[in-house]
Structure 1
Amino acid sequence: MDSGSERAADFEVQWDGDDDKRNPQNWAAWYKGMTFGTMSFAMLVVILNSTSYPNSLPSIMAEFKGETQTRANLGVMTYFLGFAVGPLVLAPLSEIYGRRPIYAIFMLLFAVTVIPSALAHSLNDIIGVRFLSGLVGSVMLSCAPGTIVDVASEKYRALAFSIFCIAPAEAPTIGAVMGGFSSEYLGWRWTNGIVCMLAGVAWVVMSLIPETYAPVLLRRMAAQKRKETGDDRYWTRFEHNRTSLPDLLKTNLSRPFVLSVTEPILIFWNLYIGAIYAIFYLVFVAYPIVFKQIRGWNSGIGSLSFAGIGIGAMCTICSEPLLRKMVEAHKHDPKTGRPSPEAGISIICLAACLAPIGQLWFSWTCEPASIHWAIPIAAGIPFGCGTTMVLIYGSSYISGTYGLFAASAMVGNNLMKNVLGGFLPLAGPAMFGRLGPRWAGTVLGLLEVVLIPIPFVFYFKGAAIRNRSPVVAKLKELQLPAKPDVSAEEPIVSEITKPVPDVDVTAAGKEDSEK
């Protein structure tokens, strides 16, 4: 094709005005709502396969005698490793082929890979196949945020993300309850069977959603126009800079690692968010010990102890309008008309205090059994609320800071989060067995206390740290500012699938170190 400079503007294929129905942002409100609900449901199913597993372990170990708790927990680790690796490949694939085929293929594969878990003849079978399930199930982590951005207009995007986050935020609690009751009354194989059936439903409804990724839609429109008219002059700007799959994979695989080890902002925030995420999943080890072993509850009733965490997560989601007002109350950047990325850290500062309060509260009221059960369960409310805030607004801060490099920054963050979330819980049984729930929980609570200064430092000094970042400086030199629709007021706008310009961030870091 001709170069972009030789192309006539009259032949550029674009949306036909602001009300073009082919643009997903102009879909009817009910259809958008159905899309958000479908995405939320599919994300729920993928996370259920993660959080239902720990509560099924007693049944699994009873069938496969001789297996240790640590080996059984490897199923958690391998699933998270799949979550960590999958987005590195699935995100660039959706850039080239669009969202819909990626959803259709990989959600079907997800449903299929759950079947061997239900029919497994050994623990090794379960551990191995759960990695594959996490790998293909990570399609929701890779593409769902981008789909929400595709469909929701800027005015209603924060609301759309809040609606979308309801199911994922509640999935850990729902998964624990489902795993507890199903393994207690139906057996652990049926826990996987239920997930498989839900995954099948998710695959069907996800396949019904049309393509939403604007560059793919416009490329198709341009190709159709050339075919109908026989005139090759019709073009779209998204064809001019298309990158080959090998080059795109190379860029997406290398840039997250380069940013993660050279950018101080990402070094601290990846470790902070990863630690909070790992502690959250370590709690899933503590609750069964406290409510099943110490208090004698069965698996089904014991799983209801996670209700406090679920209520806390829902409180965060329902408070989104109030939290957004807190962010908007900060000084606006005259260039963008929006608060700085650090404005959202004010929410994380609050969350950084709530999470350890809940953790320490639980630790010192979980035993002896004479303490009423409602008291430690209620401790899950501030813990769940704080943890959810950190995960949501931490992602928002990274996106707002790195703008066009947000995709790479978020992939690196996702990798760190899922690696820590997968490996650290392996030490949970030994830790809680040796120290006991009270002191093991206290150690985790104090670790969260030690981490409190991180968001406060970035709240007050984040702008100065950003200005010293070689990557941010490189973006300014190349006139590549952060996208206007990635801001602190829009939680989880981690546009995983958005293309980024081909800029050598390694060189940027090298130049800075030589100065």
Structure 2
Amino acid sequence: MAVVTTTYTRDPGFEVDFGDDDPGDPKNYPLWYRGCCIFFVSFGALTAVLYSTSYTSGIPGLKVEFNIKSQTVAVLGITTYLIGMAVGSVILAPLSEMYGRRPIYLGAMFSFCILILPCGLAKSLSTILIVRFFGALAGSAMISNAPGTVSDIVPEEHRALAFSIWSLGPMNGPVVGPLVGGFVFQYMGWRWTNWVVMICAGVVFIMMCLMKETYAPAILRQRAAKRRKETGDPRWWSRYDEKKKLWPLLKMNLSRPFIMACTEPICIFWNIYIAVVYAILYLGFVAYPIVFSGLRHWSPGMTGLSYTGIGIGSLVAIVCEPLIRRMIAAHKPDPVTGKIPPEAMVSIVCIAAICIPVGQIIFAWTCTPNVHWIVPIIAGIPFGAGNCAVFIYASNYLVHSYGIYAASALAGNSVFRSVLGGTLPLAGPKMYETLGPNWAGTLVGLLELALVPIPFVFYKYGHVIRKKSVLISSMQADKEKLEKKKRKMEERAERQEKELVVSEKMEV
């Protein structure tokens, strides 16, 4: 699987590339503009994720209007949405590597906005389930492609901070969904949980219209094509020019997330770990209404407020980013690259991996009415902080490991976590009914505890695993070739400059 399509027989003098301080290089965009881009994609991710969980607040209204007796059937709206996100990630992330981020964002967000309309006007649950699948397929662009956008515009040394800022959206989306949805359903009805999201999606579409392209290979391909057209000289080229026809190229790009998910050890284990953590987080959006609405008899709006513990935990993880960055920077640099190894970020995931089951088990044994309500909400703080840290730093680890194909690595991860996140909540109502809230919560907490060794193994042996990766080795070899070629071009330019100076002196 080639990292880039480079033709070394071409004249290097006609290669189109970014120059020093090139304003067209996404990493050289003005700081204020890059900040706006991060805000735009963060708000887009917030909107897409918010729609997945705000649905849970309107379930009582759906059951009454459509005469649904089974809670499991009503919860299917979460399942179809998350499966749609999984399918969309596989399609849209590779397409962004073929055509650039911007056209995918524009098409996806326009479709997402329009597909909310049938849900708000639906006359049956089946309509909602089907349309939510396709809406999620479109909305997944904001989850699968946004980390790639952040990576496109932010230098490596500031990437962790940028990811932390961006993650304010997707990490708080699951919490904001039931919080807003609860009060909207209580005072305006379940249909308005759709209209609120549609308004937000319209704003996101306008934001995407204001964003320039950020994917460097797409920009260089466009530049090379423009140069060829303007000059009429076919020798102009970029190292990202594709030589394959559309369908073979599409097949290769669409299959890449699955190939990486099945062949790359890093992807295999992180997909399993993150998928379980993500699925249990979404199980919480079934468990909280059972505990607070069912056992404590809270109103829908107040039940939405019960998620604030998880939200506070997420904010704590994000606010602590400067401290976390110092912890990462304290690691010994890689002797080969001279940079802090990606495994330094896994050290944060190790801490988060312990916080998650601790918060889950505390919640499990304090959620019943015999314990004051504040205690289970406080238990959400370590749970939320752990989930947020896993999401940020595990994703960052994948981005650092796979570079230009980070979007494909994250897309494969998104498939695993979305499928499991969509199916596990279906078991929630029956599991809590059969085992009771104490033991049901304990069961999932022990499952999270059983997977804790995964980040610890990668923290200790991740550098060895990366060296054995065929794809990463190929990327490194290609990078070294490009650097070698760049040095040769610089040396040749220096020689030509010296020869020119000597020639001018001789003429004088």
TM-score between both structures, scaled by the size of structure 1: 0.87
1:112–1:5 Cα change, 3 Å: same
- Partners of 1:298 and 1:7 lie apart in 2 by 69
Equivalent position to 1:216, from 215, 218, 235: 218
Instruction: Give the structure 1 partner of residue 477 of structure 2.
Output: 479
Other structure's SS at 1:437 match:
helix
* 1:397 and 2:404 correspond: no
1:228 maps to amino acid: E
Could you tell me how far 1:237 is from its partner in structure 2?
Answer: 2.4
- Partners of 1:224 and 1:115 lie apart in 2 by 40
Could you tell me how far 1:293 is from its partner in structure 2?
Answer: 1.4
Q: Deviations over 1:5-64 (max 9, x none)?
A: 45433333333x433323332222222211111111111111111010111111111111
Q: Deviations over 1:172-201 (max 9, x none)?
A: 111110111111111110100111111111
Q: Deviations over 1:406-426 (max 9, x none)?
A: 444332221111110011111
Could you tell me how far 1:466 is from its partner in structure 2?
Answer: 4.3
- Partners of 1:339 and 1:26 lie apart in 2 by 23
* 1:422 and 2:422 correspond: yes
Q: Contact 2:144–2:414 at 8 Å: present in 1 too?
A: no
* 1:175 and 2:177 correspond: yes
Instruction: Give the structure 2 partner of residue 454 of structure 1.
Output: 454
Equivalent position to 1:141, from 125, 136, 143: 143
Count of paired positions: 477
Could you tell me how far 1:134 is from its partner in structure 2?
Answer: 0.9
Q: Contact 2:151–2:399 at 8 Å: present in 1 too?
A: no
Q: Contact 2:160–2:393 at 8 Å: present in 1 too?
A: no
1:10–1:261 Cα change, 3 Å: closer
Could you tell me how far 1:166 is from its partner in structure 2?
Answer: 1.2
Percent same amino acid at aligned positions?
51
Q: Contact 2:265–2:469 at 8 Å: present in 1 too?
A: no
Instruction: Give the structure 2 partner of residue 512 of structure 1.
Output: none
Instruction: Give the structure 2 partner of residue 257 of structure 1.
Output: 258
Q: Deviations over 1:199-222 (max 9, x none)?
A: 111111211212222222233333
Instruction: Give the structure 2 partner of residue 283 of structure 1.
Output: 284
- Partners of 2:42 and 2:224 lie apart in 1 by 32
1:398–1:70 Cα change, 3 Å: same
Q: Contact 1:402–1:482 at 8 Å: present in 2 too?
A: no
Other structure's SS at 1:397 match:
helix
Equivalent position to 1:150, from 149, 152, 160: 152
Could you tell me how far 1:464 is from its partner in structure 2?
Answer: 4.0
2:396 maps to amino acid: S
Instruction: Give the structure 2 partner of residue 507 of structure 1.
Output: none
1:366–1:483 Cα change, 3 Å: farther
1:475 maps to amino acid: S
- Partners of 1:96 and 1:473 lie apart in 2 by 20
- Partners of 2:178 and 2:480 lie apart in 1 by 39
Q: How does 1:45-194 map to 2 (within 5 A)?
A: 45-194=47-196
Other structure's SS at 1:338 match:
coil
Could you tell me how far 1:224 is from its partner in structure 2?
Answer: 2.8
Q: Which runs of 5+ in 1 are unaligned?
A: 485-515
- Partners of 2:457 and 2:11 lie apart in 1 by 51
- Partners of 1:465 and 1:21 lie apart in 2 by 37
1:104–1:428 Cα change, 3 Å: same
Could you tell me how far 1:462 is from its partner in structure 2?
Answer: 3.3
- Partners of 2:27 and 2:195 lie apart in 1 by 37
- Partners of 2:307 and 2:90 lie apart in 1 by 32
- Partners of 1:375 and 1:62 lie apart in 2 by 32
- Partners of 1:482 and 1:52 lie apart in 2 by 48
Q: Deviations over 1:143-185 (max 9, x none)?
A: 2122222222334333222221112111111111011111111
Other structure's SS at 1:238 match:
coil
- Partners of 1:219 and 1:259 lie apart in 2 by 25
Instruction: Give the structure 1 partner of residue 436 of structure 2.
Output: 436
1:234–1:397 Cα change, 3 Å: closer
Give RMSD over aligned pairs: 2.4
Instruction: Give the structure 2 partner of residue 365 of structure 1.
Output: 366
Q: Contact 1:353–1:452 at 8 Å: present in 2 too?
A: yes
Q: Contact 2:62–2:190 at 8 Å: present in 1 too?
A: yes
- Partners of 1:320 and 1:186 lie apart in 2 by 38
1:328 maps to amino acid: A
Please tell me whether Structure 1 or Structure 2 has the larger radius of gyration of its CA atoms: 2
1:47 maps to amino acid: V
Q: Contact 1:98–1:213 at 8 Å: present in 2 too?
A: yes
- Partners of 2:248 and 2:79 lie apart in 1 by 30
Other structure's SS at 1:333 match:
coil
Could you tell me how far 1:98 is from its partner in structure 2?
Answer: 2.0
Q: How does 1:285-434 map to 2 (within 5 A)?
A: 285-367=286-368, 369-403=369-403, 406-434=406-434
Instruction: Give the structure 2 partner of residue 200 of structure 1.
Output: 202
Could you tell me how far 1:430 is from its partner in structure 2?
Answer: 0.7
Q: Which runs of 5+ in 2 are unaligned?
A: 1-5, 483-508
- Partners of 1:151 and 1:260 lie apart in 2 by 26
